[in-house]
Amino acid sequence: MKLYRTGFSLLITVVAAAGLTGCQPGQQSATTMSFRLSPFELASRLGLDVTEETDRYIEMKNGTNRVLVFIHDGGRVFVNQVPIGSTGPVAHLNNTVYLPEILESMIRPHLRPTYYVAPAPPKFQWIPPKSKVGGLVAIDAGHGGKDPGATSYLGYTEKGINLRIAGKVASILRAKGFQVKMIRTSDTFIDKYERADIANSVGPDLFVSIHCDSNDSLTMRGYSVYVSRSAGQDSRMAAGLIEDAMTATGLSSRGVREADYIVLANTNCPAVLVECGHISNPREAALLYDGTFRDKIAAAIAEGVEKAMARL
């Protein structure tokens, strides 16, 4: 469903001036709408995007937060899976839901800061591993199946690029003597919670999730390495080494960053997520489509993983 905010205030004025006192079933009068917001207006004020709307709830997200507003009778509001209070009365007008304006002040204190950038980790000295044989790395190719991920500037989707880079990283690590568990090996959909469960079931020494970044701005560029906010020193060490190794690709670094992605927060081992560049950027979209350049990215990630495994 698409919601349109343009002309809303004018609509309320016209309807009120017409002396509307009754409502169709499931609707409220215009005069009761004075202090209500559409989901898009509420999301915009909170720095979120409306990502799903049903007849029972509205989901709003950004890279750090997930808000669920249940709009049925007795509905409640959840911020990052924590209930914070009741939704209150909602209004329906012309197939559009309007929410109480007070929700903005109720939700805002519970939102986490968006994309906090962690301080630059110290550069770690490379210590050759005593043995290249052994050590288990879980490699997660992001998205897949019905979840294509982001769409690139050139029109291809993220899921295939992630899988190709992940497969190459796995091949390099196996050639070096490491054991590798691929979370997915084909174009299949695996839920993000299940991805963490699969990794936990095999007990890897390190979990590496591989993605490509995207942004509304075509000029945004570079790679990032993420850890969860509660990450331990081993995760941060691995992220720093992979971030350092990725400089060999020639892409610019956006550093080691923090975000509570499920695949990071729910794994029981050191875990990192690599954003291999922006497929929304014309230049980087072309580079990521090139097999030779993808191999360069995979080699850099594998080098960082090897160095991290020597310290775990």
28/19 Cα distance (integer angstroms): 13
The structure tokens listed for 270 are 């050191």
Give the contacts of 216 (CB within 8 A, at least 6 positions apart): 280
258/163 Cα distance (integer angstroms): 23
Domain ranges of the chain: 8-110, 136-309
**9/170: higher pLDDT:** 170
Q: Report pLDDT for 252.
A: 96
User: For residue 24, what pLDDT band results from cuts at 50, 70 and 90?
Assistant: very low
How many beta carbons lie within 10 A of that of residue 146, not counting itself? 9
Provide the CA 258 distance to its chain's centre, in angstroms. 11
Residue 112, pLDDT > 60, answer yes
User: For residue 23, what pLDDT band results from cuts at 50, 70 and 90?
Assistant: very low
124/48 Cα distance (integer angstroms): 37
| Domain range 136-309, CATH architecture | 3-Layer(aba) Sandwich (3.40)
- CA–CA distances in Å: residue 45 to residues 39, 62, 104, 148, 156: 10, 12, 7, 29, 32
Task: Check residue 304 and report its DSSP letter.
Answer: H
- Kindly report, residue by residue over 36-95, the tens digit of the pLDDT: 889 999 999 998 999 998 888 999 999 889 999 999 888 999 999 899 999 999 888 888
Q: Average pLDDT over the chain, rounded to whole?
A: 85
The pTM assigned to this predicted structure is 0.60
Cite the DSSP H helix spans in 36-94: 39-45
Please provide the distance, in angstroms rounded to a whole number, between the alpha carbons at the two ends of the chain. Answer: 49
Residues of the chain with pLDDT > 70: what percent?
Answer: 82
Q: Is the fold of 8-110 the same as that of 136-309?
A: no
257/239 Cα distance (integer angstroms): 9
Fold classification of 8-110 (topology level): Copper Amine Oxidase; Chain A, domain 1 (3.30.457)
Residues of the chain with pLDDT > 90: what percent?
Answer: 71
